[in-house]
Amino acid sequence: MFDLVQTEETTGVIRNGDTITYQHNCIDDLSLYDEMCKIRMIPIEACKPYRQHDVDFVETERMPDFRALFNEATGEVMPTCPVNATYSFKPHDVVFADQVAQLYRSTLPVDNVTVVDRLFENGLKAHRTVVFNDMVESVSEARDLVRCRFDIFNSVNKTWAFQVFSGAYRDLCRNTLVFGGSKAYHQKRKHTSGLDTGAMTSKAISGLTFWSDAKDAMKLWATSPLSLNDFSDILAASICRDDSLAAQTGKKEAVNAKRLNYLLHRFTEELPELGPTLWAGYNALTHWATHTNETWVAEDGKERKTSTKGAKAHQVERQREDLVRALTESDLWASYERKAITT
* pLDDT for position 182: 52
Q: Return d(Cα 277, Cα 283) in angstroms, integer.
A: 10
Q: How far is CA 206 from the centre of its chain?
A: 20
* pLDDT for position 65: 83
Instruction: Output the CA torsion sign for 129, 148, 187, 107.
Output: negative
* pLDDT for position 3: 46
Q: Return d(Cα 306, Cα 263) in angstroms, integer.
A: 10
Q: Which residues contact 314 (CB under 8 A, 6 or more apart)?
A: 19, 118, 120, 125, 127
This prediction has a pTM of: 0.79
Per-domain boundaries in the chain: 12-37+89-212, 39-84, 223-342
Q: How far is CA 177 from the centre of its chain?
A: 10
In the predicted model, residues of the chain with pLDDT beneath 50 are 1-10
Q: Are 39 and 69 in contact (CB under 8 A)?
A: yes
Q: Return d(Cα 40, Cα 74) in angstroms, integer.
A: 12
Torsion, Cα of 98, 103, 105, 110 (10° steps): -150
Q: Tell me which DSSP letter residue 308 carries.
A: P
* pLDDT for position 121: 87
Instruction: Compute the C-alpha angle 233/294/330, nearest 5°.
Output: 30
* pLDDT for position 4: 44
* pLDDT for position 342: 65
